[in-house]
């Protein structure tokens, strides 16, 4: 992982164009790249991989070709204010009950011709004054808890820090959250409880030192493609992969063992593995005795999960379960990676607790080729969490209800603060429906498409007295806004980002802002100042310095010492060190790791004769989140233009579903129409729908049931039915919404 200057990049910056060293704006891998920009500085010509610690010059299809969204003609260029004639609020495009959006335009994106007439252009002063006055008025009349803010994991650390500071200091509430609530909140809850840190212990590329790696509930080939290349390299060089998933990921082609479990049975499987490890004495007793607590309680619980019992619960071969456990134990160096197939359940925290215990009882933490690694989803979800964009903690995971912590931040920010933990993303929507949350600021998020139970979200957004949305495009959520503010894309801003490896890197601007769009960090500060809380900074780096100054993990870092390649945190001496790729070699932040046992629980929703299939949702390689960026990228949308549902051949035959035909998928909350893909990778009794397509919005179907600890929705388990549509055609003409 040594940094070697990339002579090719250096040369390419000198021959008639400008080369800007920056980062990929998509997943948590944090690939370093160089944008080639034309002489005018208005257009990116192409992208080249750079020799970053996370990618060694490699890029995936999104990183290489998904940059042109920033130049899309639908970019917001001026502030917009809703016309008086457009009240009361209603969705401005499409069928509000069925498919979560309007008729399909090229790229499946919002039809601006339908929506723009409901808004008028405004000056920045008019728009910002309106936002500040309406939010301050609600705060002063109904209290700070009548307001809430959704920040963004696509933005920088500096923006995340400023946004949560705005909500806490100017709104006077802790009702601030971001998309980690929808991806890894349960993982963070379990890690903070178990070891005292919510970040990974070892970097992805340390898999080259592992004897075994377990990949549970993740699909890195599609979701973290460059990380997947290093995982596949390790497999070629002898690392044994154990892959656990309900839907066969392509990485399973490289696995020693693939365990396709019944949906929702993860806890049973991991308990069964621990049963085998303890029974066969494949555990590290010295590590357990010196570095953990709670082992006796854990052992009592996993005694119930013998291989035969567990295999029957999970739908796997008991011999495969035993072989997988043996690969993880017996002194072998083992890494554990997991994704949202683990976290996005009502038992997501329990799933993560089990994985933590697996690593601890085998002594697989704190040394090369070992460790715990929840693969982070968006490009800065780790940094946004570190910066305090979470309702129950300040920056660096310092509890808001700790009087000493509260006093520190009141002094640091020069204002009084609420000691009451705030509401999460999903709780905020419920509070809006009940009239408790009256005003909201959404910056760079699209909850109408990303949150569970779209019809509930629609009602919540309509119930708000005031909504301001700050984004690049007129998103589905912005259709409900009173004011829309045009912000800055990744390619137009300076800031730091923290990847899944804990590596803090600088993203640099390659283009100028379009029209009258402004920098996101400056907009946040203007709103705070106009609400009566002064937020003035000389530069982005000054914001970073203030953020780093109230943390332990970032305190030694600065824009200056991060340089071209960044640093891992913690980094004791940035002048001589690249930071720590492996942490917790001697102790954990909480002292000894806490082993928390868990038992298999029944799902919140059951299949029956009306809804006999289990829905799983997720991503595809070419698209990202709610599609607002990638579906405005010409190459990516051309490769993957349409929504689909994957269904097992046995289920398809029984239901008379033909590959390529249009079908209806319905849950107890709504229905969508989309194309069927008949494929064996999904298990019989299950279906899969990607989350990116507004014209067939997967979250119309999903359940709002939450994990009690992480407060994360159960995107991976929902009872549905599938039926063919009468007269549905096949092939390309069937690919619409």
The separation between the first and the last C-alpha atoms of the chain, rounded to the nearest angstrom, is: 46
Q: Any long-range contacts for 36-42 (C-beta under 8 Å, 24+ apart)?
A: 36/12, 37/510, 37/511, 41/510, 41/511, 41/512, 42/511, 42/512
pLDDT tens, residue by residue, 526-557: 999 999 999 999 999 999 999 999 999 999 99
Quick one: 17 exposed, middle or buried, by C-beta within 10 A (0-12, 13-18, 19+)? middle
β-bridge partners, 440: 148, 467
Q: How far apart are CA 309 and CA 330, in angstroms?
A: 23
Best CA proximity match to 194, nearest among 577, 598, 545: 598
Query: Stretch 636-650: mean pLDDT, rounded?
Result: 94
- Residue 8 pLDDT exceeds 50: no
DSSP string covering 557-571: --HHHHTTT-EESS-
- Residue 10 pLDDT exceeds 60: no
When the pLDDT of each residue in the chain is averaged and rounded to a whole number, the result is: 92
Instruction: Let me know: does 516 contact 492? Beta carbons within 8 Å.
Output: no
pLDDT tens, residue by residue, 245-277: 999 999 999 999 999 999 999 999 999 999 999
Query: Stretch 122-127: mean pLDDT, rounded?
Result: 98
pLDDT confidence band for 11 (50 / 70 / 90): very low
Best CA proximity match to 370, nearest among 243, 212, 255: 212
Q: How far is CA 328 from the centre of its chain?
A: 28
Q: Tokens representing 571? A: 């980094």
What distances in angstroms separate CA 703 from CA 14, 186, 425, 445, 698, one per listed residue?
54, 17, 14, 20, 11
Quick one: 592 exposed, middle or buried, by C-beta within 10 A (0-12, 13-18, 19+)? middle
Whether residue 278 has a cis bond before it, omega within 30° of 0: no
Query: DSSP 3-state assignment of 472?
Result: coil
Q: Identify the H or E element spanning 462.
A: helix 454-463
- Residue 95 pLDDT exceeds 50: no
Q: How far apart are CA 504 and CA 210, in angstroms?
A: 24
Best CA proximity match to 185, nearest among 361, 426, 400: 426
Q: Identify the H or E element spanning 268.
A: helix 266-279
Query: What is the phi-psi region of residue 88: left when phi exceeds 0, alpha when psi lies from -120 to 50, beta otherwise?
Result: beta
- Residue 711 pLDDT exceeds 60: yes
Helices 124-142 and 520-530, interaxial angle, to 10°?
Answer: 50
What pLDDT sits at residue 101? 40
**104-110-115 Cα angle (round to 5):** 125
Q: How far apart are CA 114 and CA 370, in angstroms?
A: 54
Sequence length of the chain is: 737
Instruction: Let me know: does 549 contact 555? Beta carbons within 8 Å.
Output: yes
Q: How far apart are CA 157 and CA 221, in angstroms?
A: 27
pLDDT confidence band for 105 (50 / 70 / 90): low
Q: How far apart are CA 86 and CA 114, in angstroms?
A: 12
DSSP state of 24: -
pLDDT tens, residue by residue, 176-204: 998 878 788 899 999 999 999 989 999 99
Q: What is the 3-state secondary structure (H, E, C) of 213-251?
A: EEEECCCHHHHCHHHHHHHHHHHHCCCEEEEEECECCHH
pTM of the model: 0.93
Task: Say which residue the tokens 């080639």 belong to.
Answer: 36
Q: How far apart are CA 342 and CA 217, in angstroms?
A: 5
Helices 348-361 and 185-194, interaxial angle, to 10°?
Answer: 40
- Residue 128 pLDDT exceeds 60: yes
Count the Cβ atoms, other than its own, within 10 Å of residue 638: 11
Q: Please, which residues have CB within 8 angstroms of residue 312's CB and are 6 or more apart in sequence?
A: none
Whether residue 570 has a cis bond before it, omega within 30° of 0: yes
pLDDT tens, residue by residue, 19-73: 999 999 999 999 999 999 998 778 899 999 999 999 999 999 999 999 999 999 9
Query: DSSP 3-state assignment of 371?
Result: strand
- Domain boundaries along the sequence of the chain: 80-183+382-568, 185-374, 613-734
Q: Where are the alpha helices (DSSP H) in 332-436?
A: 340-343, 348-361, 381-386, 403-413, 425-433
Q: Which residue has the higher pLDDT, 708 or 143?
A: 143
Best CA proximity match to 373, nearest among 251, 204, 219: 204
Best CA proximity match to 470, nearest among 482, 480, 485, 460: 485
Q: How far apart are CA 612 and CA 655, in angstroms?
A: 11
- Residue 5 pLDDT exceeds 70: no
What distances in angstroms separate CA 372 from CA 28, 197, 275, 360, 485, one per listed residue?
16, 11, 20, 10, 39
Q: How far apart are CA 59 and CA 24, in angstroms?
A: 9
- Residue 729 pLDDT exceeds 80: no
Q: How far apart are CA 676 and CA 447, in angstroms?
A: 26
Quick one: 300 exposed, middle or buried, by C-beta within 10 A (0-12, 13-18, 19+)? exposed
Query: DSSP 3-state assignment of 35?
Result: strand
Query: Stretch 373-393: mean pLDDT, rounded?
Result: 93
Q: How far apart are CA 223 and CA 377, in angstroms?
A: 8
pLDDT tens, residue by residue, 475-508: 999 999 999 999 999 999 999 999 999 999 999 9
What pLDDT sits at residue 181? 82
Best CA proximity match to 666, nearest among 92, 96, 91, 97: 97
pLDDT confidence band for 12 (50 / 70 / 90): very low
Question: How large a percentage of the chain has pLDDT more than 90?
Answer: 84
Query: DSSP 3-state assignment of 662?
Result: strand
Q: What is the dotted CATH code of the domain comprising 80-183+382-568?
A: 3.40.50.740
Instruction: Let me know: does 540 contact 559? Beta carbons within 8 Å.
Output: yes
What pLDDT sits at residue 452? 87
Instruction: Let me know: does 191 contact 352? Beta carbons within 8 Å.
Output: yes
Q: Tokens representing 221? A: 């080939």
Best CA proximity match to 353, nearest among 601, 712, 713, 596: 596
For 203, list phi and psi in degrees, rounded to 5: -80, 160
Instruction: Let me know: does 269 contact 310? Beta carbons within 8 Å.
Output: yes
pLDDT confidence band for 735 (50 / 70 / 90): very low
Q: What is the dotted CATH code of the domain comprising 185-374?
A: 3.40.228.10
Query: DSSP 3-state assignment of 722?
Result: strand
What pLDDT sits at residue 92? 74
Query: What is the phi-psi region of residue 217: left when phi exceeds 0, alpha when psi lies from -120 to 50, beta otherwise?
Result: left
Please tell me the class of the 613-734 domain. mainly beta
């Amino acid at each position: 992982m040594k940094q070697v200057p990339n002579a090719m990049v250096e040369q390419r910056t000198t021959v008639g164009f400008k080369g800007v060293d920056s980062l990929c704006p998509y997943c948590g891998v944090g690939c370093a790249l160089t944008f080639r920009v034309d002489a005018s500085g208005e257009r990116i010509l192409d992208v080249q991989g750079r020799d970053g610690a996370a990618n060694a010059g490699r890029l995936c299809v999104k990183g290489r070709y998904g940059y042109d969204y920033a130049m899309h003609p639908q970019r917001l260029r001026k502030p917009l204010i809703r016309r008086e004639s457009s009240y009361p609020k209603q969705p401005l495009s499409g069928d509000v009950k069925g498919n979560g959006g309007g008729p399909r335009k090229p790229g499946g994106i919002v039809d601006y011709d339908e929506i723009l007439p409901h808004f008028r252009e405004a000056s920045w002063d008019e728009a910002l004054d309106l936002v500040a006055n309406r939010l301050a008025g609600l705060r002063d009349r109904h209290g700070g808890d009548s307001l809430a803010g959704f920040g963004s994991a696509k933005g920088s650390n500096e923006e995340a820090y400023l946004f949560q500071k705005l909500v806490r200091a100017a709104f006077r509430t802790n009702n601030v959250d971001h998309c980690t609530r929808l991806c890894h909140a349960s993982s963070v809850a379990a890690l903070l409880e178990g070891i005292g840190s919510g970040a990974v212990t070892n970097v992805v590329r340390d898999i080259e030192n592992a004897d075994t790696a377990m990949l549970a509930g993740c699909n890195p080939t599609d979701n973290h493609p460059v990380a997947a290349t290093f995982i596949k390299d390790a497999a070629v060089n002898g690392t044994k992969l154990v892959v656990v998933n309900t839907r066969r990921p392509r990485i399973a082609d490289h696995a020693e063992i693939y365990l396709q479990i019944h949906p929702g049975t993860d806890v049973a499987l991991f308990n069964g593995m621990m049963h085998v490890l303890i029974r066969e004495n494949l555990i590290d007793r010295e590590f357990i005795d010196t570095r953990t607590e709670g082992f006796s309680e854990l052992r009592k619980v996993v005694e119930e999960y013998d291989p035969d019992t567990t295999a029957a619960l999970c739908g796997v071969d008991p011999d495969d379960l035993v072989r997988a456990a043996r690969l993880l134990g017996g002194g072998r160096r083992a890494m554990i990676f997991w994704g949202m197939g683990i976290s996005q359940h009502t038992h997501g925290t329990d799933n993560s607790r089990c994985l933590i215990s697996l690593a601890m009882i085998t002594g697989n933490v704190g040394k090369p080729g070992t460790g715990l690694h929840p693969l982070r989803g968006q490009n800065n979800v780790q940094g946004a969490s570190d910066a305090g964009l979470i309702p129950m903690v300040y920056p660096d995971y310092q509890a808001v209800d700790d009087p000493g912590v509260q006093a520190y931040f009141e002094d640091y920010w020069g204002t009084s603060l609420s000691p009451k933990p705030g509401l999460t993303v999903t709780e905020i929507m419920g509070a809006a429906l009940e009239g408790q949350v009256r005003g909201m600021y959404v910056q760079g998020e699209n909850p109408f498409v990303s949150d569970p139970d779209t019809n509930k979200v629609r009602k919540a957004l309509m119930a708000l007295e005031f909504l301001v949305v700050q984004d690049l495009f007129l998103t589905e959520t912005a259709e409900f806004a009173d004011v829309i503010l045009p912000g800055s894309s990744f390619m137009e801003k300076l800031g730091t980002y923290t990847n899944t490896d804990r590596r803090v890197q600088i993203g640099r601007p390659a283009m100028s802002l379009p029209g009258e769009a402004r920098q996101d960090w400056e907009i946040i500060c203007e709103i705070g100042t106009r609400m009566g809380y002064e937020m003035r900074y000389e530069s982005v780096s000054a914001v970073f310095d203030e953020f780093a100054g109230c943390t332990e993990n970032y305190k030694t870092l600065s824009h200056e010492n991060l340089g071209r390649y960044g640093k891992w945190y913690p980094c004791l001496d940035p002048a001589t060190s690249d930071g720590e790729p492996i942490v917790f070699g001697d102790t954990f932040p909480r002292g000894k790791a806490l082993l928390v046992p868990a038992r298999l629980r029944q799902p919140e929703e059951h299949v029956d004769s009306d809804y006999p299939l289990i829905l799983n949702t997720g991503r595809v390689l070419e698209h990202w989140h709610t599609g607002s960026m990638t579906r405005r990228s010409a190459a990516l949308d051309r490769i993957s233009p349409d929504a689909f549902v994957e269904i097992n051949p046995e289920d398809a035959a029984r239901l008379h579903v033909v590959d390529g035909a249009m079908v209806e998928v319905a849950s107890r909350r709504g229905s969508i129409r989309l194309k069927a893909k008949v494929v064996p990778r999904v298990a019989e009794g299950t279906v899969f729908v990607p989350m990116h397509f507004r014209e067939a919005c997967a979250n119309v179907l999903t359940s709002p049931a939450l994990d009690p600890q992480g407060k994360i929705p159960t995107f991976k388990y929902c009872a549905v039915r599938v039926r063919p549509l009468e007269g549905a055609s096949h092939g390309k003409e069937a690919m619409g919404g």
